[in-house]
Amino acid sequence: MKFAKTFLSVFLLLLVSSTSATGKLEVHDAWVREAPPKTNVTAAYLTLYNHSPRIYTLTHFSSPDFKRVEMHRTEQHDDISKMLPVPQAILNSEDRIVFQPGGMHLMLIGPKKRFRAGDSITLTLFFTDERSTENSIEISLPIKKSMVDNNQHDSHSHQH
């Protein structure tokens, strides 16, 4: 399907702040939708893999490029589309959490400037392990017009 097509395996820096995190967390397919004009919100998508024996809990996010980052889930219920806040997400050992259009996503609110396809932004993921030790990962995500838009400047959307 769609996701299989997109193997933009984003190379990331694992900046685990605590030495207690022995395990490997990997981020793949990370991207941020270029915000259309007249809106101050957009979404970040990624897949987070846990290749460690630990269980992690994603607690919150931050970005120097946005005022606020919130974890949300789009839900279809009786034909109504709703955006629900997700306070935290558990990431089991050898499991993954997928943030994707129409599902879980990171809502980015209040950009510090107008980001365009081809730019990138920084995002920090905060999580705790079983002992409540706080860790974080800082990643860089490319801005794209859409998930399949690998060549940002050859998009069907119009450049203004």
Partner 1 sequence: MSKLVKITLSLIISILLIGVAAYFAQQNTNATPGSKARLMLPKPLTTFQLTAHDLKPLNIERLKGKWTLLFFGYTHCPDICPTTLTELAQMSQQLPPDVLSNTQFVLVSVDPQRDSPESLAEYVSYFDESFLAATGSIAALTAFARQLDSKFNLETNPVGEPIVNHSSAMLLIDPQARYYARFKAPHYAEEIHTQYLTLRNSYSPTSP
Q: Which residues bind partner 1 (CB under 8 A)?
A: 2, 33, 36-43, 72, 74, 76, 79-83, 85, 101-102, 105, 107-108, 145-146, 156-158, 160
Which SS3 state, helix, strand or coil, does residue 5 take?
A: helix
Please, which residue, 38 or 113, has the CB nearer to partner 1?
38
- Which residues touch 16 (CB under 8 Å, ≥6 apart)? 25, 135, 136, 137
Task: Tell me the closest approach of the beta carbon of residue 43 to partner 1, in angstroms.
Answer: 4
Q: In this structure, are residues 145 and 151 in contact, taking their beta carbons and an 8 Å threshold?
A: no
Task: Tell me the closest approach of the beta carbon of residue 28 to partner 1, in angstroms.
Answer: 19
Q: Any idea of the CA torsion for 13, 127, 8, 158, to the nearest 10 degrees?
A: -110
Task: Tell me the closest approach of the beta carbon of residue 104 to partner 1, in angstroms.
Answer: 9
Please, which residue, 37 or 53, has the CB nearer to partner 1?
37
Please, which residue, 36 or 53, has the CB nearer to partner 1?
36
Task: Tell me the closest approach of the beta carbon of residue 48 to partner 1, in angstroms.
Answer: 17
Q: In this structure, are residues 62 and 126 in contact, taking their beta carbons and an 8 Å threshold?
A: yes
Please, which residue, 51 or 68, has the CB nearer to partner 1?
68
Task: Tell me the closest approach of the beta carbon of residue 148 to partner 1, in angstroms.
Answer: 8
Please, which residue, 25 or 32, has the CB nearer to partner 1?
32
Query: How far, in Å, CA of 110 to CA of 105, rounded?
Result: 16
Query: How far, in Å, CA of 111 to CA of 73, rounded?
Result: 20
Q: Which amino acid is at 13?
A: L
